[in-house]
């Protein structure tokens, strides 16, 4: 019984760690993309405004 609980907890821990890393990478990627797009909009601000 203890071995089954240990394996379940181990799997849950590994899954949580993997999901956390994936979420972190996705958040950083989205942030960088937003900064790049914002800089591009600010650079072309004079072209957009009449």
pLDDT for residue 50 is more than 70: no
How many Å apart are CA 47 and CA 42, to the nearest integer?
A: 10
What's the pTM value of the predicted model, to 2 decimals? 0.72
Predicted local confidence at residue 22, as pLDDT: 98
pLDDT value of position 2 = 79
Three-class SS of residue 20?
helix
What's residue 1's pLDDT? Answer: 75
CA-CA distances (angstroms) from residue 33 to 1, 24, 49? 48, 14, 23
Question: What distance in Å separates the CA atoms of residue 26 and residue 19, rounded to the nearest whole number?
Answer: 10
Residue range 12-32, pLDDT digits in tens: 999 999 999 999 999 999 999
What is the Cα–Cα distance from 2 to 10, expressed in whole angstroms?
12
């Amino acid at each position: 019984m203890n071995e089954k609980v240990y394996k379940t907890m181990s799997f849950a821990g590994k899954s949580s760690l993997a999901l956390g890393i994936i979420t972190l990478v996705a958040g950083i990627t989205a942030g960088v993309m937003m900064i790049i797009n914002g800089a591009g909009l600010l650079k072309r601000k004079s072209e957009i405004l009449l």
